[in-house]
Homo-oligomer: A and B are copies of this chain.
Amino acid sequence: MNKRITIKDIARELNIHHSTVSRALRNDPRVNEKTRDLVLAFAQEHEYQTNLNAVQLRGTANNAIALIVPNINHSFFSDIVSKLTNLAYEKGYVISVFQSNEKYLQEKEIINTIIQHNFAGVIVSIAKDTVNSDHFRLLEKFGIPFVFFDRVCEDINSPKVLVNNFEITFSATEHLINKGYKRIAHITGATEINVFRDRHRGYITAIQKHELEYKNPIVVTDEFTMELGKKIFSDLVDSQNTPDAIICSSIHLTMGILFETRKRAISIPTDLGLITFGNILASEIIQPQISSIEQPETEIAELSFELLEKLITDKNSLNINEDKVVKSQLIIRESC
């Protein structure tokens, strides 16, 4: 491996000052066309690559955006990651994706890395674990703009892109009620997270509006796996309080439920109504087709990026307190 070539190397080789080389490379009009061409040719031939560490040390603006998600291996997030990456690419930004693995500690360390590397901005959906938001205050302090999406820190004044979880869960629950279901369970995540709290509130509000009564209808879980879905459903069925319908916050859990209904010959939608959050790849294949609440990933990605870009280019152009709410969609299929 050859040592990497620098501006000074080019300058020495061409017998000009390195400041001229710098200007030539950046197409500064002050440098003579001939020397510029000379420099560019030399740079290309020797595969010169800017040292961005030096550039950024100097304080020049950069185009690096960090994206933090709890779990890349989850179709909701991987969809958004994928879309955001393409969006950013078109606008000349480079996105680095970080996974917090649902851990506050990892999220915090990622934020530190972001500060230390001087990213231009951050788009983030927080970990389930995250109750303390000091690390986002740190980000604020260092003047790095950031935008939350989906899972947010409500006590931080930064733009947020939210999903209408309250309304859609209310509608979904009411739909089940109108279909005649009476013992409607809600399986969801920890209500410390705004997403699950909103869904919970939507569910409860509908239940109360229609004066349904049903004990312990809510199962809160930390993990979203198919195995756990099996277990939760089995426990529900084995309890005194078998539900006749379920609204489930996770596809993976829903898969477990489906597995158990097959095993136990519980018929959907006759014995059990079912609505799940999230887009199922196999939704058209699985029988019966499951009603679902589809997330507007594209809109979330676009809006998040748009807000961050505004913040990066002009921090004052944006009313920071104004949250954006995008609509998810209740698609009724055969499961209720």
A interface residues, Cβ below 8 angstroms from B? 1-2, 4, 47, 49-54, 56-57, 71-75, 78-79, 81-82, 85-86, 89, 94-99, 101, 106, 109-110, 112-113, 115-118, 138, 140-143, 226, 251-252, 255, 258-259, 262, 280-282, 284-287
Contacts and interface: CB of A to CB of B under 8 A. Distances in A.
Contact of A57 (B51, B74, B284): B51
A1 B140 contact: yes
A4 B142 contact: yes
B285 A258 contact: yes
A247 to B, nearest CB: 19
A82 B287 CA distance: 30
Question: How many monomers of this chain does the complex have?
Answer: 2
A97 B97 contact: yes
Contact of A285 (B101, B255, B284): B255
Contacts of A99: 81-82, 85-86, 95, 97
Contacts of A78: 72-74, 78
B89 A49 contact: no
Nearest to A280: B282
A94 B82 contact: no
Given A47-B138, A53-B117, A81 B72 contact: yes
Nearest to A99: B85
With most chain B CB atoms within 10 A of its CB, the pick from A57, A72, A110 is: A72
Contacts of A56: 53
Nearest to A252: B281
B282 A262 contact: no
B51 A72 contact: no
Given A53-B56, A54-B57, 15 more contacts: A1-B140, A49-B116, A49-B142, A52-B116, A53-B53, A71-B82, A72-B78, A72-B97, A94-B109, A95-B98, A97-B97, A226-B284, A252-B281, A255-B285, A282-B286
A110 B85 CA distance: 12
Contacts of A89: 101, 106
Contacts of A52: 53, 113, 116-118
Contacts of A2: 141
A143 B1 contact: yes
With most chain B CB atoms within 10 A of its CB, the pick from A95, A116, A285 is: A285
A255 B69 CA distance: 28
A52 B51 CA distance: 13
Contacts of A4: 142-143
A110 to B, nearest CB: 7
Contacts of A50: 116
Contacts of A51: 57, 116, 118
Contact of A259 (B49, B98, B110, B285): B285
A4 to B, nearest CB: 6
Contacts of A82: 71-73, 99, 101
Given A110-B94, A255-B282, A281-B282, A85 B57 contact: no
